[in-house]
Amino acid sequence: MQKRLLLPLATLSLFVGLMSACDSTSSNSGPSITNLYLDNTSLSAGGGQTGIHATVADPNKGIQVNFKVVQNGTDVSSDFTISYTAPSSSVSSWSAFNDGSAKISAVSGATNGNDTLVMTVTDASGSGTATQRVPVTVTGGINGGGGSAPSQVASLDVAAQGVTGVNSFISIGNATSYSGTDTKTNFATTDLVITYDGTIATQTNFESTAAGVADGSLTSSYWAGGRATLIADAGSTEPATLAAAEAVLGTAQTAKITNGHYYVVKTVEGVYAILAVSNATGTGNSMTLTVTILE
């Protein structure tokens, strides 16, 4: 089967949103986090603290806990005060609230809007990492953002590879498109290409660059092993939360493109995104791809 690369997109709009989720990564031999929640998910800037609850378990000792707050994909932990007593090196389980007295508050200069508290646990053995997220909203602070609504980052005109003057490769995280000329300097950030299968007249696919290298669509001498971006077709209903998106995602690195469908993507950096396909006008022609970052 021979494939030739096409990138039949007309417009790429990147939106950023913050959503709640369950464990993003964990393993049976490593740490796990269950039941992360806050006593109050609405914080007043300059107001009091609220408790952070979660249970950590790990068969290996040396549990290490980290908290951060993200806002439209940006670390805004400096807008918050997070206090807790770290687990001792001898324990294999830990309660954020009962053992660690974990609490969070928003500083007086925090920006109003929707944020996400991210809790990450590792252990000294390096056997794994577990992550959970919970939404938190700031009020009474500085107006003008904070993830209160998605904002457009980029609108890119792209099309099939080989179309003169139009870019063909997409970096999800950078909201950037690349042409065949400048792609060679951006291998490390190109997440997806779109391929047209010449043996199946109606099939156009999303494909990771790693999958392109594996099937010969991309030359390994340029792309090395590529980037193993994961992608899955979520159907005609958009996943409402990061947890719902994670439930859709498997291990596939290719997906057939269908107009009106939503696709869950996970980059090698662990960033989750939703790709919405609309205005598709036939195989190999233009479509609109809207990208929403879930963290």
What pLDDT digit, counting tens, does each position of 185-223 carry? Answer: 677 778 888 776 655 545 778 889 899 899 888 888 888
3-state secondary structure of 50: strand
Domains of the chain, residue spans: 3-17+151-293, 32-139
Predicted TM-score (pTM) above 0.85: no
Burial (CB count <10 Å: 0-12, 13-18, 19+), residue 26: buried
Separation of CA 282 from chain center: 29
Question: Using only C-alpha atoms, what is the Rg of the chain?
Answer: 21
Average pLDDT, consecutive stretches of 10 residues, N- to C-terminus, the chain (295 residues): 41 36 47 90 90 91 90 84 92 93 91 87 78 87 49 50 61 70 73 70 78 87 88 90 84 89 86 78 66 69
pLDDT of residue 85: 95
Listed residue (189, 158, 160, 155) closest to 172, CA to CA: 189
CATH classification (class only), 32-139: mainly beta
Q: Tell me the pLDDT tens digit for each residue of 82-97.
A: 999 999 888 889 999 9
Separation of CA 287 from chain center: 22
The mean pLDDT value of the chain amounts to 76
3-state secondary structure of 104: strand
pLDDT of residue 282: 59
